[in-house]
Amino acid sequence: MHELAPATALLLLLATACASLAHFLWGQRWQQLLLFWIAAFIGCLVAYGLGLQLPLMLPMPAGVPVLEAVLVAWLLLVVASRLRV
């Protein structure tokens, strides 16, 4: 059985949590949940891939900048919520 890397698991969990909350707040159809999840996951990946870090000394579990990943995910979620899907 393949094991999931800790950073990957954390990114998946963050994206799922952000997308679920966005769908609760703005979602009207189930198809939007997939769009929200994709937007949140891309946002988390961008923050992780670019190594974005605010000038705060926050812990980074598994090397993931959690605050920055959530902020970028929500930025893309706002954009995704404005799309007509």
Query: Is 84's pLDDT higher than 90?
Result: no
Taking the C-alpha atoms of residue 55 and residue 81, their distance in angstroms, rounded to an integer, is: 29
Task: List pLDDT tens digits, range 6-56.
Answer: 999 999 999 999 999 999 999 889 889 999 999 999 999 999 999 989 888
**Token pair listed for 24:** 């609760």
